[in-house]
Amino acid sequence: MMANRVAIVTKTEVTRSIAAAMAAGLKIGRVEVDHREGKVVIFPEGEEPRASSNPCDRLLR
């Protein structure tokens, strides 16, 4: 049985972040939530994902 723990990023925070971005006129393409770091990242529609910082990914292209 796993112990209950407090969420670092709550559903309410994610909802508020998305609502604020939309109210500012942003067309949302993707939302990433990092529960370990406690952050929400909102990417605009049409933005390409950033290249990985792993140098091996560049070699495999």
Which pLDDT value is given to residue 59? 64
Bridge partners (DSSP) of residue 41 are 32
The structural domains of the chain, with segments of one domain joined by +, span: 11-60
Overall pTM surpassing 0.75 (yes/no): no
Position 19 pLDDT exceeds 90: yes
23-27, 28-32, 35-39, 40-44: segment of lowest average pLDDT: 35-39
Q: Tokens at residue 18, please?
A: 């998305």
What are the contacts of 36-45 at 24+ separation with CB within 8 A?
Answer: 36/8, 37/8, 38/8, 38/9, 39/9, 40/9, 40/13, 40/14, 42/17, 42/18
21 pLDDT band, cuts 50/70/90, is very high
Position 60 pLDDT exceeds 70: no
